Structure 1
Amino acid sequence: MSAAPQRKIVHVDMDAFYASVEQRDDPSLRGKPVVVAWKGQRSVVCAASYEARTYGIRSAMPAIRAERLCPQALFVPPDFVRYRAVSRATREIFARHTALIEPLSLDEAYLDVTENLSGLSSATAVAEAIRDAIRDELNLTASAGIAPNKFLAKIASDWRKPDGQYVIRPREVEAFLAPLPVAKIPGVGKVMNGKLAALGVSTVGDLRGLELAALEARFGRYGRRLYELARGIDEHPVIADRPVMSVSAEDTFAEDVPLSALEPMIRRLAEKTWAAAMKTPRIARTVVLKLKTREFRILTRSLTPPQPPASCTELTDIALALCGRVETDAEARYRLVGVGLSNFGEPEAARPTSQPDLFASV
């Protein structure tokens, strides 16, 4: 039996996507520090142009901090209807080359081009053709990473940003990975980085020096994942058409609190949930509020309005209103609250023809 061909994976990442769309459509914004965000005490940055990034502004940063970092920044409210339309256009370009497309958000996707539809000679040529089409047809730029697997392709796409691409060939994998900070590995955040630092690990090369048994003993199943990624091993396939079913954000309080004290947390969690939902072209119709009592009882309340929530403000208002559907007494206390969106569908199918039952509870 012949061996399966070496995978050829391309990770395409649009450059400063939301901000670039705004600069493309409004010439007065070009070359200026643009921040895509609603201005306000509770707002967060959705995107920042490269000009704004030179001031230290980044996505998910509080908008008020971004304003302090760059007082002359131009704040533009996000227009997700427009961004979704551009995202669909980029995926139409991808589909000319492969049917194996796994979107990660509106602005990035994995493509398996092991066998491409366009008859191009290499994955590098496919990435170049995609980036050329995005530039010529959409007047935007994208960066790409080309590698034998998804893990490496995603790292490579960030290597020559903006408007560039980078190839990691199979024979180059170990040498490429060895000097990288271990934080480049998915799942290695501040806490895990600290744990690895305590073991004397700061680079992927250092991590490669640890035995599998030692990593599994210390980190369980994730220890095996660390062992594999340190060697550039990632067998996860590109999975096309994986629909988003729900998104949510939740937090646990340091001390149990009454229902009347939940509003600030609900507002913050609604912003996180809305930002996550905007990474998919699908539309959520149902808002969910989750509560956990100090007795560890789970309560959920949900609302499916006649029209899907069209803004973070609408999501927040509905989530706060759902608190009124919680039967409680003055002594009740809560240890956790969560805000979610569910019942996702395609944009064309997201508008109900008749009004459903508005409230449901579990």
Structure 2
Amino acid sequence: MRHFVFLLLLLAGSVLPLRAQRLQPGFDKAEYLELLRLHARMSEASALYHGIAPPQQFRRVYRSPVLGLDNRWELWHNGHGVAVVGIRGTTARTESWLANFYAAMLPAKGELHLSSKQTFRYELAQNPRAAVHAGWLLGLAVQADGILARLDSCYRRGTKDVIITGHSQGGAIAFLLTAHLRHLQRQGRLPADLRLKTYCSAAPKPGNQYFAYEYEAHTQAAQGSWSVNVVNAADWVPETPVSVQTLDDFNQPNPFGTGNGFLRRQPLPQRLVLRYVFKRLDKPTRKAQRSYQRYLGKLLEGQVRKYLPEYQPGPYLPSTNYVRVGPTIVLLPDAAYHQRFPNNSDQVFTHHLFLPYLYLAQRLP
């Protein structure tokens, strides 16, 4: 029955093109509110969608099995030519949190060996200095093939508009999925006329500055961006992972290195002072970055193998300069919001859940 409904919705999208409105770049309040309602229904815990109406336009047509580190995605369709790929966020299971804490950076171009039968090859950015979060890259890797297969089915039945979306961890993976799909389009391995639009909601930071530069360049259009990041200013999750910036994270040339021409041209007293200051600033951040890579990389890689015994990542990059990605819509709390959703040290996700995001988004102009 579920597959029958899936076919009906896709056929409706192909025979009613005149009624369908193509996706447009930029933030659309009505779109985002519908996606929040959709995300709430992706949760298996009714408490998370209590008080939130179900989606009005979209219906679920496919739910993936649980994959990798408790990853799951769903396909929704509105019956008028628009599909939604929704990526589930963090769950209460240990392995889902392991994905978050597995926060060393891997190159944005490379491969992950998942098993003897599956290797995920990817190019999320061309710059060799671009890097992304290891745990969420793994989340992309275990879901990408299934998503591509369903998108191919949608496209062959006439659906050419696709919204990629995720809330929380799902938003971080949605960034990476978008970069992956757009690379496949540039390679001619995904139809160029498949229109992709991305909403990342309450998403943590998925990668470093060099990943962000390319992601933003590839999603930009004359009328606005095809990717939107929505953040509640009271939510701590989009401020994670913790960023550690070293002097190596800067573009070259720059004036911060101890052996560059800028320093050599300074008078001796200033040169000695600047060199001392740079070394004092540089040493602690390098030490912190190495600890990050050791404990949140190699150590947790071993824990990942409890769930994926044959998992082998590429070499970690010596960078943990996580940044926010893409044009951001800020949901700014006011006094009325804080009265309804007061701070509570025993409820650390008060400002991260669907209801506060819905409350603030509804009040946008």
* Global fold match (TM > 0.5): no
Q: Quick one: higher RCO (CA 8 Å, sep 6+), 1 or 2?
A: 2
Larger Cα-atom Rg: 1
TM-score range, shorter chain: under 0.3
